[in-house]
Amino acid sequence: MNKYYLLLIAGGMSFGTASIFIKLSGMPPGSLAFLRFFIAGLILGKVDLKKVVRYSPFGLLLAMHMVTFIISVYSTTIIDATVLVSTSPFFVILLSPFLKFKVNLRDIIAVITGFLGVVLMNLPLNPGLLFGNAIAILSAFLIALYTAGLSKVKDEPITLTSSIYISSSIFTLPLFLIQGLGTVTITSVLALLGLIALPTLLGHTSIIVASGKVKPQHIETIGLLEPVVATLLAIPIFGQIPTVFEIFGGMLVILSILIVVTSGEKS
């Protein structure tokens, strides 16, 4: 299997921890978004100020995706937020004619199979709050646009990643200054550190490293691992036993990822 697909699978699994860490932290969207990207960018240690400016459009998209996703987690159920943000592969397919990358029938089958799996995992669907659900869909569109555009960028991965993270932190700084840190506890600090280590340094970094090496629609399809992992984590953390729908839906998601990783096509 292509090493980039392996990296994306690890990253996709790490995304399953994001909504749980966000919920456990209880911190405002501005502080979570700013701190996770600022600290992650510094940890990577290859900050190039010229490239921070050059890649600021990607920093803005990532910042907007992150803030809207955090707002959706707080405004609707974790299930609804996770399911709706997983519509991003459909948006990538829709963007393909404008950004001029190839989409074939196999890609479309993989996206549809994976999304059906995500829907099945969450039957019966909880309508939640309209605002939170709409924000989750907006978040899906933003990350799809980010991933699709990033596939056209050629640069050294760690420098690119660090520059985008620092850029994102700059865009979220005003919101952080307005909202402040919120209530800081041991739980919120540990949740923030988990958010930085797993879905940020592993998850979002895997997207940047694989961009240009893997089709953007494949990247987003592998990202459908997020609700599968979140469901599995809910067993020990919240005592939620998977339903038949969740088990069958999870199998469809895994099938969609197998379709993607066995295609071996580059963008």
Q: Are 38 and 169 in contact (CB under 8 A)?
A: yes
Residue with tokens 């760690």: 158
160: helix, strand or coil: helix
Judging by beta carbons within 10 Å of its beta carbon (0-12, 13-18, 19+), is residue 232 exposed, middle or buried? Answer: middle
Neighbours of 98 (CB within 10 A): 9
Residue 196 is given by DSSP the state: I
What pLDDT does 264 receive? 55
Please check the confidence at residue 115 and state whether its pLDDT lies above 50. Answer: yes
Nearest CA to 109 out of 94, 123, 86, 90 is that of 90
Please check the confidence at residue 23 and state whether its pLDDT lies above 90. Answer: no
Better pLDDT: 231 or 96: 96
What pLDDT does 209 receive? 93
Nearest CA to 93 out of 112, 118, 119, 117 is that of 112
Hey, where are the domains in the chain?
Answer: 3-261
Q: Are 78 and 230 in contact (CB under 8 A)?
A: yes
CA distance 98 to 149: 10
What pLDDT does 267 receive? 47
CA distance 226 to 85: 10
What pLDDT digit, counting tens, does each position of 160-174 carry? Answer: 999 999 999 999 999
pTM: 0.86
Q: For residues 204-221, give the mean pLDDT.
A: 90
What pLDDT does 118 receive? 76
CA distance 201 to 157: 12
The single-letter code of the amino acid at 54 is: R
**Token pair belonging to 15:** 């995304």
Please check the confidence at residue 222 and state whether its pLDDT lies above 80. Answer: yes
Neighbours of 202 (CB within 10 A): 18
**What percent of the chain is predicted at pLDDT more than 90?**
49
Long-range pairs, 84-87, Cβ under 8 A, ≥24:
84/133, 84/136, 84/137, 84/139, 84/140, 85/136, 85/137, 85/139, 85/140, 85/143, 85/226, 86/114, 86/115, 86/118, 86/140, 86/223, 86/224, 86/226, 86/227, 87/115, 87/137, 87/140
| Rg (the chain; Cα; Å) | 17
Instruction: Give alpha helix (H) positions in the chain.
Output: 3-15, 18-25, 29-44, 49-54, 56-75, 78-85, 88-99, 105-121, 130-150, 157-179, 186-195, 205-210, 216-222, 225-238, 244-261
Residues 6+ apart with CB under 8 A from 99: 148, 149, 151, 152
What pLDDT does 7 receive? 94
